[in-house]
Structure formats: C-alpha cells, structure tokens
Chains A and B, each alone.
Chain A
Amino acid sequence: GAGVSQTPSNKVTEKGKYVELRCDPISGHTALYWYRQSLGQGPEFLIYFQGTGAADDSGLPNDRFFAVRPEGSVSTLKIQRTERGDSAVYLCASSWSGASHEQFFGPGTRLTVL
C-alpha cells in the first residue's frame, strides 16, 4: 500500500502562532515516531507511540509541543506559541512494532517560523 504521508509539506507561520502537523502511517503499523531534523543534522527523536499511547515522549523539547494518536493510526503534532527556533523539517516514521524494527519515514513537513 501507500507509504507514510505527511501534511502539509510546507508550513510558514508567524512567531507565536499555533500549528498542527499531520502524519498518516503505513496501515497496520502500530509504532509511530516523530522526529525533528535541522539542516546538516540527523533526525532528533521527539516522541514514540505504540498504538494510541505515547510510550516515550522524552524528546519533546518543552510543554509547547504535544502529540496525539487517538485511534492508533493518524497522529498530529501540535506546537503552541511557535518560536523561530522551531523552524525545521518534522519527520514522521512508522514501523511494525518498536524501534527494533525498520522505520519507514514520510517526506516530512518543512516548518518555517517567521
């Protein structure tokens, strides 16, 4: 079937605004991950879902970041009061189970905070 999809592909917002980024994982994948990638860096882990629950949210930088996966499929990453330092590519990945399995990445959402 289809791979991981993310919307929007690009998001430009103003400092202080609220944004939502959406991820559609591969059907049947129980594990879902959010990463943030800055230019010239590797993906930085944000949060990991196993089913509907956040199994590990240790990578969320502060309480402005929140993510949900209410039905164990689609996930939304929410960022409140955006700051210029939040500008990055936000990647979503899914896998059959935990991180011991191959992760399939989506194309990412490029977030620019002006």
Chain B
Amino acid sequence: GQQVMQIPQYQHVQEGEDFTTYCNSSTTLSNIQWYKQRPGGHPVFLIQLVKSGEVKKQKRLTFQFGEAKKNSSLHITATQTTDVGTYFCAGYYAGGTSYGKLTFGQGTILTVHP
C-alpha cells in the first residue's frame, strides 16, 4: 500500500537556526498536506500543496511539492521557541481503494533551544 516516509525523526536546533523536514511517497500523490502538533495537542492544518513543483510560503515557513509529486519539504527560517512541536506531512492518493484516506508520515519532532 501507499507509504509516506518522513525524515528526520528528531531535530534539535538553537533558536534562530533553520529547520527542514522531508517527506517521500512510494507513489504519486494527488496532494500533500502539512500539519503541526504541539506537545499534548492535536494536529492542526498548516497548508495543502496540489500542483507539481508548487511552492507556498507562510511567513517563515516555506513548503515545496516535488515535480513528480512524490516528495515534499517544509523549511522554517530562523526558528523560534513557538515553532516547537511535531510536523507531519500527509499524502492524499485519489482513486483506487484509497479514496478519502490521508496517509501520514511518522512526523519530525522539532525542539528549539533558546
């Protein structure tokens, strides 16, 4: 079945450093979504990418979708302590038996040291 792999599993940075997490799918995605989960909280939607090669920015966050629609990345510039949490990518595969299903990666746990 479809799998979404995410690396790294953990990332520890000093406040002000950059952070990147990568997501790879075994098969072509229809779209990819990114979620953030704060410690003790629930996943909160950040963004959705649909088009091949798409790049979207939200303040210090930059999201990219690969040309083949099999990989994606989230880059945070100049991290702040408020960025702490787990970042998940979630792939949507249209058609077949996977209709309606989001497949989540394992997540990257970001720790920011002040």
Contact partners of B6 in chain A: CB under 8 A: 42
Give how many A residues have a beta carbon under 8 Å from the other chain's beta carbons.
28
| A9, chain B: closest CB distance, angstroms | 11
> Given known contacts A42-B88, A100-B31, is B42 in contact with A56 (CB within 8 Å)?
no
Q: Are B99 and A44 in contact (CB under 8 A)?
A: no
Out of B45, B99, B105, B106, name the residue touching A103 (CB < 8 Å): B45
* CB pair B43 A91 closer than 8 Å: yes
**A/B interface sample: 18 pairs, CB < 8 A:** A31-B100, A33-B100, A42-B104, A42-B105, A43-B90, A45-B101, A45-B103, A48-B100, A48-B101, A56-B97, A58-B101, A91-B42, A91-B43, A99-B99, A99-B100, A100-B94, A106-B42, A108-B42
Residue of B nearest to A56 (CB): B100
For the complex with contacts A35-B104, A40-B107, A108-B42, 18 further pairs of A-B residues with Cβ separation under 8 Å are A33-B100, A42-B6, A42-B104, A43-B43, A48-B101, A50-B100, A56-B100, A58-B98, A58-B101, A91-B43, A99-B92, A99-B101, A100-B30, A100-B31, A103-B45, A104-B45, A105-B35, A105-B42
Interface status of B44 (Cβ within 8 A of chain A): yes
With a cutoff of 8 Å between Cβ atoms, the chain A residues found around residue B102 in the complex are 33, 45, 99, 103
Residue from A33, A35, A42, A107 whose CB has the most chain B CB atoms within 10 Å? A42
A43→B37 CA distance, assembly (Å): 11
CA–CA, A45 and B100, complex, Å:
10
B99 touches A56 (CB 8 A): yes
Chain A residues packing against B (C-beta within 8 Å): 31, 33, 35, 40-45, 48, 50, 55-56, 58-59, 91, 93, 98-108
Task: Using known A-B contacts A41-B106, A41-B107, A42-B106, determine if residue A98 contacts B42 with beta carbons closer than 8 Å.
Answer: no
CB pair A56 B101 closer than 8 Å = yes
B107 touches A102 (CB 8 A): no
